[in-house]
Amino acid sequence: MECSGIFWCGRIQPVDKRGPVRFSLTDADVIIVGNGPIGATLSVLLAQRGRRVTVLERRPRPYRLPRATSFDGETARLLAGTGIGPDLGRITEPANGYQWRTAGGDTLLDIAFTTAGPYGWPDASTMHQPALEELLAARAAALPGVTVLRGHEVVDIADGAQGVKVTAATGDGATRVLSARWVVGCDGANSFVRDRLDVPVTDLGFSYEWLLCDVELREPREFVPTNVQICDPARPTTLVGSGPGRRRWEFMRLPGESTAELNRDETAWRLLAPSGVTPGNATLLRSTTYIFQARWADRWRVGHVLLAGDAAHLMPPFAGQGMCSGIRDVANLAWRLDLALRGPAPESLLDGYTEERRAQAEEAILASVQLGRVICVTDPVAAAERDATVLAGRRGRPPTRPEPAKPLCGGLLHRRPGAREAEPPAGAVIPQGRVSRHGVSGLFDDVVGRGFVLLTTEDPRTALGGDRLAFLSELGTRVVRLLPPGAEPGTAHDVVDVDEVYRPYLARFGATSLLVRPDYHVFGAAGGADGAELLVDDLRDRLGGIAPAGARRP
């Protein structure tokens, strides 16, 4: 066998005696283990950057039952970045609100959602997960860099100095060995990749068993609000939308109640009946129990192998952030992998992924646990005390708005010389409004494009000069001068801030320039030409410079 690229030479010994070994040097840039929504999103984000991706999925066919049921506005924006934005409206329904109610119907928590959220998408959208996966699969199939191998269960991973060797068992009893520079485990809660790396896990020990009932309604029916938590000690219950014509009910298993009894279809219909859901007007798509968990992997990178999604973190469902957190993982990871593969960005750039995303995931898990401790109360006395305390604090208050996306608190963020921490808005997720450019109007991401973005109220040619603009160009940065509504663009950089989102945002922080990362987090802001130069120079230093265009692909 001949050597190929940077990978191993010599004879590869079988690791599985069930059949012959087929050895294939694919020279993939990245192997992704798992083709759920997290792995599929990562494959598309990498392929759009020109990377060659192989996805290994143990299931021979797509999983046809839903798991996640919704995503927030920030996640919708990230999913739109894969190119499926125009089709999201076809498989989703905007949620109109989220309430927590007592057994008596009093409102403990009331959050109102809008279809015009701060990130250009509805605050929350319900969806049928298999439909989302179909969109991602179609997008991946349209990209030449993605190869999806179904019926391939990973059985071994060996990391080397220059890359990783992955062994997968195939459906015909053989094994297959593939090589790549990086491997990302997106293989779910029971992740083989995480276990193979022997990564320690922090488990908060907070878990309860619930009966999950997915229902397809045969008649149109409006639910206001879309999502409800019934904090009834007699049976804590969840009601949520799960895409057009579908809903999910979840019922907590009570102390002393058997899982076997809860898992019967008769039990599901009995519990659904008070909501007016019967075999006469609905189809029970699935009825099964599950146990949620609250835990995270302590390390998300070991050598050239990384973790994302449920392989890296698991959380109770009450904040609806499980899949959203996984999408944020791969949005953070994709551009880092691209730069590390391109060089000369240091591999330590991938350590920033763990630093940034684990902190955010831990915060989401802790918040979900806190919500769960409020909801999962079966002691009537404790529930009455909870209700009285919460109602006394919120009586007469109007519905609240969802909190903005969580900012980054560390990692790849701009700091002024001598400053110990980044200053706002560094780390925040930039809002999105409508802009106009060359006669085309629409959401900023669609009109201007995605990737690194430099927003400025000045002429960038004057503020930065040729060398810095060349660096930004090599990085693929969209350089934009913001004009007020009604202004006439004069250069190729000019964009009209139609909704007046961006210029006021910069003014709020006394900035004339704002540098945004591909995951929409603000790298940093600055005022004046000197500040803009420092901003760009800091990014260039932190990335280790960028290789010439002809040397991008190793």
- Give me 340's structure tokens: 């590390």
Supply the pLDDT for residue 496. Answer: 97
Look-up: residue for tokens 């708005």?
A: 401
Q: Which CATH class is domain 21-66+128-201+298-356?
A: alpha beta
Q: How many Å apart are CA 96 and CA 80, to the nearest integer?
A: 21
Could you list the pLDDT tens digit for every one of the 554 residues in the chain?
333 332 222 222 333 333 433 334 457 999 999 999 999 999 999 999 999 999 999 999 999 888 999 999 999 999 999 999 999 999 999 999 999 999 999 999 999 999 999 999 999 999 999 999 999 999 999 999 999 999 999 999 999 887 899 999 998 889 999 999 999 999 999 999 999 999 999 999 999 999 999 999 999 999 999 999 999 999 999 999 999 999 999 999 999 999 999 999 999 999 999 999 999 999 999 999 999 999 999 999 999 999 999 999 999 999 999 999 999 999 999 999 999 998 878 888 999 999 999 999 999 999 999 999 999 999 999 999 999 999 998 877 899 999 999 999 999 999 988 888 899 999 999 999 999 998 899 999 999 999 999 999 999 988 898 899 999 999 999 999 999 999 999 888 999 999 999 999 999 999 999 999 999 999 999 999 999 999 999 999 999 876 544 433 33
**Number of neighbours of residue 115 by Cβ within 10 angstroms:** 13
- Give me 433's structure tokens: 């409004």
Residue 80 DSSP code = I
Contacts 24+ apart (CB under 8 A), 261-270: 262/209, 262/211, 262/289, 263/211, 263/287, 263/288, 263/289, 267/211, 268/211, 268/213
Q: How many Å apart are CA 321 and CA 329, to the nearest integer?
A: 12
Instruction: Identify whether the C-beta of residue 118 lies closer than 8 Å to the C-beta of residue 505.
Output: no
Instruction: Identify whether the C-beta of residue 121 lies closer than 8 Å to the C-beta of residue 317.
Output: no
The CA–CA distances, whole Å, from 86 to 89, 121, 124, 522 equal: 7, 12, 17, 25
- Domain 434-551 fold is Glutaredoxin (3.40.30)
Supply the pLDDT for residue 144. Answer: 95
Query: Amino acid identity of 237?
Result: T
The CA–CA distances, whole Å, from 196 to 78, 244, 307, 311, 389 equal: 30, 39, 12, 12, 47
Contacts 24+ apart (CB under 8 A), 56-59: 56/31, 56/32, 56/149, 56/152, 56/153, 56/154, 56/166, 56/168, 56/178, 57/148, 57/149, 57/150, 57/151, 57/152, 58/151, 58/152, 58/153, 58/154, 58/187, 59/35, 59/150, 59/151
Phi-psi domain of 134 (left: phi exceeds 0; alpha: psi -120 through 50; beta: other) = alpha
Buried b (16+ CB within 10 A) or exposed e, 382-400: ebeebbeebeeeeeeeeee
Phi-psi domain of 183 (left: phi exceeds 0; alpha: psi -120 through 50; beta: other) = beta
Q: How many Å apart are CA 123 and CA 404, to the nearest integer?
A: 10
Supply the pLDDT for residue 544. Answer: 86
- Residues 6 or more apart in contact with residue 346 via CB below 8 angstroms: 340, 544
- Give me 251's structure tokens: 């019922």
Residue 309 DSSP code = G
Domain ranges of the chain: 21-66+128-201+298-356, 92-122+208-291+376-406, 434-551
How many residues in total does the chain contain?
554
The pairing of beta strand 28-33 with beta strand 175-185: parallel
Q: Do domains 21-66+128-201+298-356 and 434-551 have the same CATH topology?
A: no
User: If we measure between CA atoms, which residue out of 215, 278, 224 comes closest to residue 243?
Assistant: 215
Instruction: Give the distance from CA 122 to its chain's centroid.
Output: 16
Q: How many Å apart are CA 467 and CA 530, to the nearest integer?
A: 14
Please state which of the four CATH numbers 3.90.870.10, 1.20.1250.20, 3.40.50.360, 3.30.9.10 is assigned to the domain occupying 92-122+208-291+376-406: 3.30.9.10
pTM of the complete model beyond 0.85: yes
SS3 at position 79:
helix
